[in-house]
């Protein structure tokens, strides 16, 4: 019973922390061309409505091109992954009493450190207009998230289930935007 209450407290705390970092409160009403880009991205995700909400909450203007959307979403995915590592280190591992939970949280900590590294590299590559490297690094980050997802039992409701979902969704949005950006920049650069 104590283990169950302790895990519920950990789950509630982490979910509240994670949700508080999702900036859903102030969204931009995108103009038609921007909405078209967002729709193109979000149609390729697992949850169109959440994707749209996440993207519009990151925009500072009703008009944004694909480069801007790629940049803000890559940065958001990086921030969210970094926050997830902190939550694992500061809350989950120190408070886990179950050996199975500790093993999962430790594996996810390692995986998310790699996610952060790859997303940092992707962001740097994007800023340097190296979109091929950016896409490769985003895909590697998604692979590392999957390492944690595979270790996490969806039916055992630890905070990693929610974290994996949102980090994967934001990283996937950034990756899709990057895939759209890369071909559009390489074709526009050719004579």
More confident residue, 154 or 76: 76
- CA-CA distance, 134 to 46, in Å (whole number)? 22
What is the pLDDT of the chain when averaged over all its residues?
85
In angstroms, what CA-CA distances link 177 with 71, 101, 139, 180?
A: 9, 34, 12, 5
3-state secondary structure of 22: coil
Q: What is the pLDDT of residue 15?
A: 57
The answer to whether the beta carbons of residues 144 and 115 sit under 8 Å apart is yes
Residue 96 has which token pair?
Answer: 């886990």
Q: Per residue in 10-42, pLDDT tens?
A: 555 555 555 545 544 467 899 999 999 999 999
Q: What is the pLDDT of residue 191?
A: 36
Out of 9-13, 18-22, 59-63, 82-86, least confident range: 18-22
Q: What is the pLDDT of residue 41?
A: 97
pTM across the whole model: 0.82
Which domains are assigned to the chain? 65-181 (1.20.140.40)
User: What is the average pLDDT across 49-63?
Assistant: 93
Q: What is the pLDDT of residue 5?
A: 44
């Amino acid at each position: 019973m104590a283990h169950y209450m302790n895990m519920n407290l950990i789950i509630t705390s982490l979910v509240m922390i994670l949700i508080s970092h999702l900036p859903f409160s102030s969204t931009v009403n995108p103009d038609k061309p921007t909405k078209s880009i967002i729709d193109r991205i979000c149609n390729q995700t697992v949850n169109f409505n959440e994707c749209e909400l996440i993207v519009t909450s990151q925009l500072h203007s009703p008009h944004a091109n694909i480069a801007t959307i790629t940049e803000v979403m890559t940065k958001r995915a990086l921030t969210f992954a970094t926050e997830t590592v902190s939550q694992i280190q500061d809350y989950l591992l120190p408070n886990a009493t179950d050996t199975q939970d500790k093993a999962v949280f430790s594996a996810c900590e390692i995986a998310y450190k790699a996610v952060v590294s790859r997303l940092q590299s992707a962001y740097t590559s994007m800023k340097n207009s190296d979109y091929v490297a950016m896409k490769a690094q985003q895909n590697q980050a998604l692979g590392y998230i999957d390492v944690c997802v595979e270790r996490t039992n969806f039916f055992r409701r630890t905070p990693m289930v929610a974290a994996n979902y949102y980090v994967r969704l934001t990283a996937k949005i950034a990756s899709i935007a990057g895939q759209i950006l890369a071909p559009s920049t390489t074709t526009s650069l050719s004579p």
